[in-house]
Amino acid sequence: MQKLIIAIVSNEDSTAASRALTKGGFSVTRLATTGGFLQVGNTTLLIGTEDDRVAELVGILKKYCATHKKVVPTTESLGRGLRRDGVAPEITVGGATYFVLDVADMGKL
């Protein structure tokens, strides 16, 4: 059976994720979207695939979009470089929310 995976990912991870998915033989559509809570831009990926490939697809999303830590510069840290001494704090970025939907029919005209 065909499935449609809707995956909402950060803009930062979306390029690497969609490249890896495409390389893996998946067809991907990227939509520029905005989170309703933070009102910040994110990317929604639409991927139609067979159900026996869903686990592989989720594995790729996990690899490229899982939450990870990142050291970010702040105004306080300007000119001091990216140091892990609290001046340039580590924040959590990335993450993905995905839905797997059954597809009643799929066609290309």
Binding site for ligand 2BA (CB under 6 A): 8, 35-38, 40, 42, 95, 97
The alpha carbon of residue 52 and the mean position of all alpha carbons in its chain are separated, in whole angstroms, by 21
Nearer residue to ligand 2BA within complex by CB, 73 or 95:
95
Tell the smallest beta-carbon distance from residue 99 to ligand 2BA (Å).
Answer: 8
Question: What distance in Å separates the CA atoms of residue 55 and residue 62, rounded to the nearest whole number?
Answer: 10
Question: What distance in Å separates the CA atoms of residue 27 and residue 24, rounded to the nearest whole number?
Answer: 9
Nearest residue to ligand 2BA on Cβ basis: 35
Tell the smallest beta-carbon distance from residue 58 to ligand 2BA (Å).
Answer: 16
Tell the smallest beta-carbon distance from residue 28 to ligand 2BA (Å).
Answer: 17
